């Protein structure tokens, strides 16, 4: 008796462009940092902590979808918009100047890193949208 050979299509898909890997690193960076920061934010604001969790999950979930065959070119625009909205949200909550990156008089490295990662992610996603 011969064993039946079955082939199944994988739902996993690697980025076709090296910029896709940079986008993944940026999305993972900001997603994980938002989840870590949420533990501190929850101590003084349940609403903000929940928003941090949702934001982190959004970036991680978007990354997971990007790595599947379900990803469509138009979703790059969603990634751009999501990243830009998250950047603007910091300024809307913390103030519209450089002071948005400060917490209790000191620079907040997590805010700087997450917003830089989101800005790079937005540029990467726009590049990938245009180039693919």
Mean pLDDT of all residues in 20-26: 96
Residue 1: what pLDDT? 45
Higher-confidence residue of 123 and 48: namely: 123
Residue 64 lies in a domain: yes
Q: Please give the tally of structural domains in the chain.
A: 1
Residue 4 lies in a domain: no
Average pLDDT score, the chain: 88
Residue 7 lies in a domain: no
Residue 5 lies in a domain: no
CA-CA-CA-CA dihedral for 80, 95, 90, 23, to nearest 10: 50
pLDDT band at 108 (very low <50, low <70, confident <90, very high): confident
Residue 8 lies in a domain: no
Angle at which helix 46-66 crosses helix 18-41, to 10 degrees, equals 160
Higher-confidence residue of 132 and 68: namely: 68
Residue 109: what pLDDT? 84
> What global pTM score does this model have?
0.85
Residue 54 lies in a domain: yes
pLDDT of 56 > 70? The answer is: yes
Domain of 113, in residue numbers: 18-131
């Amino acid at each position: 008796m011969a064993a039946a050979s079955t082939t199944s299509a994988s739902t996993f898909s690697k980025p076709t462009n090296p910029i896709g890997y940079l986008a993944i690193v940026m999305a993972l960076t900001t997603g994980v940092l938002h989840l870590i920061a949420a533990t501190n934010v929850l101590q003084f604001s349940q609403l903000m902590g929940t928003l941090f969790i949702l934001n982190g999950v959004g970036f991680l979930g978007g990354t997971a979808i990007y790595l599947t065959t379900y990803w469509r070119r138009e979703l790059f625009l969603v990634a751009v918009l999501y990243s830009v909205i998250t950047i603007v949200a910091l300024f809307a909550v913390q103030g519209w100047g450089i002071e948005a990156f400060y917490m209790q008089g000191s620079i907040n490295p997590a805010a700087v890193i997450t917003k830089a990662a989101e800005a790079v992610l937005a540029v990467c996603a726009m590049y990938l949208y245009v180039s693919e």
